[in-house]
Amino acid sequence: MINLETPRKHRALVDQAHQVAMNMLRPISRKYDSAEHAYPKELDMLAALIDGLSDSGTAEGAGATSMSTELGTKKVADPSKVRNGANLASILSVAEMCWGDGGLLLSMPRQGLGNAAIASVASPEQQKRFAGVWASMAITEPSMGSDSAALTTTAVKDGDHYVINGEKIFVTSGERSDAVVVWATLDKSAGRAAIKSFVVEKGTPGLKVERLEHKLGIRASDTAVITFTDCRVPAENLLGSPEIDVKAGFGGAMATFDNTRPLVAAMAIGVARASLDLTRDLLEKAGIVIDYDRPALTQSAAAAKFLELEADWEGARLLTMQAAWMADNKKPNSLEASMSKAKAGRAGSAVTLGCVELAGTLGYSESELLEKWSRDSKILDIFEGTQQIQQLIVARRVLGLSSAQLK
């Protein structure tokens, strides 16, 4: 039976993450929001601490590098016994860290979205070889919109290498990372089945970081445009199988999203909770007390609005925990991953903007972080698949239709 309370085994991890968020990330949040593109040097010490915990085994598998690689491949031996593992630990710790600052979390060394991709589809040998590598993920292209299958970056086999050509935009940590997990097609005529991901290490001839983007939010995180021009990558850097299996379709690539979408949902949950916590305190200072023992309609308009926002946030939190719990218990979670991302992305934007409104001038000014959190939250409804794309995926799963049948 699924229990969506924080498991006892993960409570120490959650407490540690909260302390880091409160004492290390929150104090420098405004500093690196203003100093866009400046590297947060304070994160080096934190990254070393996390590495030490991981090496000692006390980190409980939290982080992008620990997401399950065997999703749906085997069943739990005893259905009466459940497992709360690395996936649940990851989303709980990520939510806590984003309570401190989402942009700083995305800047954390060796915890890039590309690391989640490696954990999802890499072979055991590749995981060992790329252990400790900070990997960003390059998917989006100037002309592809939200359709990942429409990418045009190519990878052509040449002896024991692949030659990659194309352009990627909005690459999170694209400048700071050690390597880039780039999605490319082996054969455009083969459609989605030919899309594979490659680990391209920085310094590889032909890989060039063209520029960094100026953004609305998550300014502590660098977001790059990267081009690949006759970029030769060793064949062993292709993640997963090199075979083009039309029957398997886009499955290998989508396994990455099944892991990263709940992570992004957890980020939205963390930012939204930060807004709710601060807004509750501000309302109480103004003499408006939230009474959980009375119906919302019998309370002030501000209290009723706050309760509505908090309920929206709670629904997103539970969906995200469900998606992670299913992954830990080897249950296919593509539907739940997209549901959690859709719900949390939308709720995050609604909650943070709602808190800005409730706080009035304090919410709109830079005297508090509410305005920053409202800016940061919007990207969490966009990257890793927009709200509309998630709803389309959910509809396909519920109706049992393919991407060709429901566009």
Structure tokens at 208: 């060039």
Catalytic position from the list 96, 336, 368, 384: 384
- C-beta of residue 303 within 8 angstroms of C-beta of residue 349: no
Whether 384 is catalytic is: yes
Structure tokens at 63: 């982080």
d(CA 307, CA 294): 11
* CA-based torsion, 237, 238, 239, 242: positive or negative: negative
277: Cβ contacts below 8 Å, ≥ 6 apart: 99
* CA-based torsion, 384, 170, 268, 103: positive or negative: positive
d(CA 167, CA 261): 23
d(CA 185, CA 31): 40
- C-beta of residue 113 within 8 angstroms of C-beta of residue 358: no
340: Cβ contacts below 8 Å, ≥ 6 apart: 261, 262, 265, 316, 319, 320, 322, 323
Query: CA angle, 68 as apex, 121 and 272 as ends, to 5°?
Result: 110
Q: What is the maximal distance between C-alpha atoms in the chain?
A: 73
Catalytic positions: 384
